[in-house]
Amino acid sequence: MALTAALGDRLRLDEPLANHTTSRLGGPADIWLPVSHVDKLVEVVTLARQHQVPIFMLGGGANILITDGGLRGLVIENRTRRIDLQPPQPGSAQRSLIADSGVVLPNLARRCAREGLSGFEWAVGVPGTVGGAVVNNAGAYGRDMAATLVRAELLSPDGERVWQPVAWLKYDYRTSSLKWQAHLEWVVLRAELQFTSAAPEAIEARMTGFNERRKSSQPPGATMGSMFKNPPGDYAGRLIEAAGLKGYRVGQAQISTVHANFFHNLGGATSTEMIELIEIAQQVVEDKFNVRLELEIEVVGESAKPTP
């Protein structure tokens, strides 16, 4: 194919995406390509669009369940990692930086701490990239991207690079105008994030506190984080546990025995098993409590049902 020849020698054909997701689940990508520079990302997306090959942007693979059928077309793994601190503005207590969309959140949180930039401590234990966090409005401990992002640079469906202000993203709980893009039209390239100045030691101490809270409440292992959104006034984990499903298994997919909103790949699970487990949890909770749990993660790939 002319496209594969143009993409260079880092690409792999039929790459198992289970190697690129936190759940260790996911069938093959027709074409998989890691990209390390924003200009290259723009070039690759433009090229794929010219060849009418579908693209999928993969960040850390921390919030998606890719079906066993995998993804058709080109999967671009975002490894862009540049961080540019912006000079302080006279008279302003705010500081900002511009991060590539492939920057890994915990790495960015630690860099902010070293620079004395406060406001991103919550991200120290959140896996994934800035791009995924912009799309999902990732957050923790009462803060989120909506409170941190000033503007995002996007590649538009027409191939233009445009900076959009945070309001454009229409943020809500773990969602944005960019989530559930049936065909990836907007690609997040970079993000400007805003912080206040603080002593690095104080920032480090807050991050240590968040890490400890996470360790005591969340099970380790191959998961996608929280499976369902918390329904208004309740917790998905509480409902699943009250429905008697803690520890319930389909094959090698298991609802955590520690936190019922975490679903594990115990090793060798299939996405089909995981999807069956999701559907059982939704059905049993609905039958018992008349609450329909909505997915927080995104199911993507061949034969995926419409989400959420």
Residues that bind ligand FAD (CB under 6 A): 22, 56-64, 78, 101, 126-129, 131-133, 135-136, 138-140, 174, 187-188, 223-225, 298
Residue number with CB closer to ligand FAD (56 or 248)? 56
Is the CB of 96 or the CB of 125 nearer to ligand FAD? Answer: 125
Least CB distance to ligand FAD at residue 57 (A)? 4
* Residue of 23, 101, 226, 256 with catalytic role: 226
Nearer Cβ to ligand FAD, position 61 or 241? 61
* Pairing mode of beta strands 117-118, 187-197: antiparallel
118, 174, 192, 298: which one is catalytic? 174
Q: For ligand FAD, which is the closer residue by CB, 7 or 62?
A: 62
Q: Is 174 one of the annotated active-site residues of the chain?
A: yes
CB of 138 or CB of 285, closer to ligand FAD: 138
The nearest distance, CB 262 to ligand FAD, in angstroms, is 8
The CB-of-37 to ligand FAD minimum distance in angstroms stands at 13
Q: Please indicate whether residue 143 is annotated as part of the active site.
A: no
In angstroms, what is the minimal distance from the CB of 90 to ligand FAD?
A: 33
**How near is the Cβ of 91 to ligand FAD at its closest, in Å?**
33
**Catalytic residue numbers?**
174, 226, 296
